[in-house]
Amino acid sequence: MPEKISISDFVSLAKEDLSSPGSSGFQSKMSDCRSTVAALEESLEQDQMSLQRMKKIVKAIHNSGLNHVESKEQYTEVLEHLGNSHLTQDNNEISTGFLNLAVFTREITALFKNLVQNLNNIISFPLENVLKTELRDSRLVSETDTWYLLKIQELKVRQGPDLLQSLIKYFQAQLNFFQDGLKAAEHLGPFVEKLAASVHTVINLSIPDFLNRKNSGHGYSIHQPQGNKKYGTEKSGFLLKKSDGIRKVWQKRKCGVKYGCLTISHSTINRPPAKLNLLTCQVRPNPEEKRTFDLVTHNRTYHFQAEDEQECMIWVSVLQNSKEEALNTALGGDQLQFQDSGLQELVRAVISGLRNLPGNEACCDCGAPVLFIISIGNAKFNDIMEINMPSDAVKPLPKSDMTARKEYIVAKYAERRYVLPKEHSEVHHVYDTVRSKDLMSLLQLYAEGEDLSKPVATPEGQDLKETGLHLAVRMSEKTSLALVDFLAQNCGCLEKKTAEGNTALHYCALYNKPECLKLLLKAKAVLHTVNSAGETALDIAKRLQHMQCVELVSIT
């Protein structure tokens, strides 16, 4: 195999051949020269590929740097705009903070822009020169092997030290960038520390004021204040309403209260007035500005202003009185007006039935009058949760403060202090309770602190590791869905698995229980849990062609 020949050896052989051609060994070394030239050619091609890649990377860095500079300049403009905005509002300290940060950002951006330009000037241009001239020259001289070996030394100097010298210059530019940036940051440092202390002080002063407004009755209240009955339930006149636009201007609008509704006219006559049902609204007087009040609906808040405090109080009273009248009308039955007399009788019967349920005539905890309570059977519920209440214990009254109510609620629900434990002789009491679909017995077990998330012991002795929820789903009927819902919401067993790795959600798909599936999905059951066979609930439903379950899981 031919050996590589060095430049110095080649020069010596060439001189010897020139001085004494007859005895020279130059001819015998020609194969080594050609081998060396081929190796150098391959090395130069690899260098060219590396330099081409380096050129692309440097160009990408340069372009991204210019984009970064452009974004920073836009960011600086925003800071200046905010500073000028606060300056017009006489917030001098806040304005100074924004403007100084804008100046600092502009300085750093200018330094970074200079660094990016240095990258282009110091590295990109030398790279282009190497690729366009020197490597091209190397290919020209490679046609003559003799001159190629002489030229290669010069190329090594240009491609190595020259490029490295350019990189050193760019390092110096980077060093200057960081040093100048540090100087700018240190110059701004004392101001930022002072500004941070001032902002902290402003925030601390604002928080108590905010809390005072929040706790002053301006927020939501369970029991709505009563209006002054002497002002009646109807009124019409003009109010100022704050607009929803950016300017938030007060606009004069004709308003009227009648039949439990508030109508608000628009500025244009051809548009019908807005009509708000007061049953779904809340009236909130403003304790800070006595002439204004808010009307909170389900999707927005209306801000109104009257001519004076007295007029504002009258409007608030009329709105509250009209709302109360609407409530009494809705639940009284005698004044209901429907075009269909059959519908009127049906509504009366439903409302009467709800109001006459045992315990639903008042709040089950404090006795406050309520419209009706959706949950069925407060009396039976309290038979379990309050049966062991001491005779000297005092239940909160409608006029009791929140502290008394909170203490009672914690004792009743969190500590379950008034529950009377019962003796359960059978070890299968949870199984029997779920199988018999006895919600009250289940509530008794829950109140006593029974762990309903544990596997249920069965009379057959089968170790299926089913929880009460698994059992309730498997045995569920339309009349026992309340049992499934109670266990899903209160017992923390949604992700408990049976011996086969099935969760309650798997059971819904396995036994085709779409109604139970809805309840578990409402309780946030995990859809992607797999059983021992690697199947999700959706996989089981598809395999068994339980299409209702497939649809419910797929759309969730």
Contact (CB, 8 A) for 507 and 495: no
The closest of 514, 433, 443 to 473, measured between CA atoms, is 514
User: What is the residue-level pLDDT of the chain in tens, covering all 556 positions?
Assistant: 456 666 666 667 666 666 666 666 666 666 777 777 777 777 777 777 887 888 888 888 888 888 988 998 998 888 888 888 877 777 777 778 888 888 888 888 888 888 888 888 877 777 777 666 544 444 443 444 545 544 555 555 455 566 667 767 777 877 888 888 888 888 888 887 887 777 777 666 655 555 555 444 444 444 456 778 888 888 888 888 888 777 778 888 889 998 888 898 888 878 888 888 887 788 888 888 888 998 888 778 888 988 898 889 998 989 888 888 877 776 654 444 444 455 456 556 656 666 666 665 555 555 544 332 333 456 777 778 888 888 777 788 777 777 788 888 888 877 788 888 777 656 677 888 888 888 888 888 888 888 888 888 877 766 788 999 999 999 888 777 888 888 888 888 889 999 999 999 999 999 999 989 988 988 888 888 999 999 999 999 999 999 999 988 887 6
Structure tokens at 357: 């349920």
Structure tokens at 471: 């059992």
Helix (H), strand (E), coil (C) string for 356-414: CCCCCCCCCCCCCCCCCCCCCCHHHHHHHHCCCCCCCCCCCCCCCCHHHHHHHHHHHHH
CATH of the domain at 277: 2.30.29.30
pLDDT of amino acid 453? 86
Same domain, 45 and 147: yes
Same domain, 315 and 397: no
pLDDT of amino acid 335? 44
Structure tokens at 101: 């940060």
Domain boundary among 381, 414, 447: 414
- Is 344 part of any domain? no
- Is 320 part of any domain? yes
pLDDT of amino acid 508? 94
pLDDT of amino acid 35? 73
Same domain, 492 and 446: yes
Same domain, 240 and 105: no
Same domain, 92 and 137: yes
Same domain, 510 and 544: yes
* Amino acid at the residue 543: R
Distance, in Å, from the CA atom of 143 to the CA atom of 89, rounded to the nearest integer, reads 78
Distance, in Å, from the CA atom of 34 to the CA atom of 18, rounded to the nearest integer, reads 19
Structure tokens at 421: 């434990």
Same domain, 182 and 300: no
Same domain, 369 and 451: no
pLDDT in tens, 353-363: 666 666 655 55
Give the angle 500-503-505 at the CA atoms, nearest 5°.
130
List, in order, residues 6 or more apart from 145 with CB less than 8 Å away.
Answer: 33, 34, 37
pLDDT of amino acid 469? 92
Distance, in Å, from the CA atom of 297 to the CA atom of 495, rounded to the nearest integer, reads 39
Q: What are phi and psi of 554, to 5 degrees?
A: -70, -35
- Is 299 part of any domain? yes
- Is 223 part of any domain? no
Distance, in Å, from the CA atom of 322 to the CA atom of 28, rounded to the nearest integer, reads 119
- Is 352 part of any domain? no
Same domain, 441 and 369: no
Structural domain tally of the chain?
A: 4
Domain boundary among 203, 221, 240: 203
List, in order, residues 6 or more apart from 197 with CB less than 8 Å away.
Answer: none
Distance, in Å, from the CA atom of 35 to the CA atom of 38, rounded to the nearest integer, reads 5
Structure tokens at 184: 């700018």
- Is 319 part of any domain? yes
Alpha carbon of 303 to those of 40, 239, 300, 317, 323: distances in Å? 84, 10, 10, 16, 18
Contact (CB, 8 A) for 134 and 155: yes
pLDDT in tens, 18-49: 666 666 666 666 677 777 777 777 777 777 78
pLDDT of amino acid 342? 54
Residues pairing with 237 in the sheet: 255
CATH of the domain at 99: 1.20.1270.60
Which domain covers residue 181, as residue numbers?
A: 7-203
- Hey, how many other C-beta atoms are within 10 angstroms of the C-beta on 10? 19
Q: What are phi and psi of 136, to 5 degrees?
A: -65, -45
Same domain, 303 and 376: no
Distance, in Å, from the CA atom of 46 to the CA atom of 159, rounded to the nearest integer, reads 13
Same domain, 373 and 507: no
List, in order, residues 6 or more apart from 372 with CB less than 8 Å away.
Answer: 331, 351, 354, 355, 357, 360
Give the angle 221-224-228 at the CA atoms, nearest 5°.
140
Alpha carbon of 66 to those of 35, 122, 125, 171, 181: distances in Å? 47, 16, 17, 19, 18
Domain boundary among 185, 203, 221: 203
- Is 213 part of any domain? no
Same domain, 238 and 367: no
- Is 263 part of any domain? yes
How far, rounded to the nearest angstrom, does the alpha carbon of residue 329 sit from its chain's CA centroid?
42
